Amino acid sequence: MARQIYGAADVALSERARQSLERFTRWGFGHLPICIAKTQYSLTDDPKRLGAPTSWTLRVTDVSLSAGAGFLVVISGAMMLMPGLPKLSRALAIDVDAHGEITGMQ
């Protein structure tokens, strides 16, 4: 994906990413499709290299398993991942009744 779609010349796996991939493969998840977490500013993992540069190296720092969703997340560069969120926020159930008491926080 990095070479053919994003235009990378190479892919460099950190030791942590390599170990994660080996572990997930041993666990039977090596066949899952991948999602690449990278900067939104570029096809690279470097937010300073805007657009679609060529001849760069994708730095894979880690890989996480989303077994329920059915894919591996390849984490590139210094990406921070957002936590999984529910379909409906718990805040939607919180209210204040006529007596000023907060409800919906059980």
Name the region of 30 (left: φ>0; alpha: ψ -120 to 50; beta: rest). alpha
Token pair listed for 75 = 């984490």
Which regions in the chain score pLDDT beneath 50? none
Residue-range domains of the chain with CATH: 10-103 (3.10.410.10)
The per-residue pLDDT for 45 is 79
* Contact status, residue 21 vs residue 65, Cβ threshold 8 Å: no
Quote the pLDDT of residue 48: 83
Which pair of tokens denotes residue 80?
């921070």
Give pLDDT, residue 83.
67
Confidence (pLDDT) at 46: 79
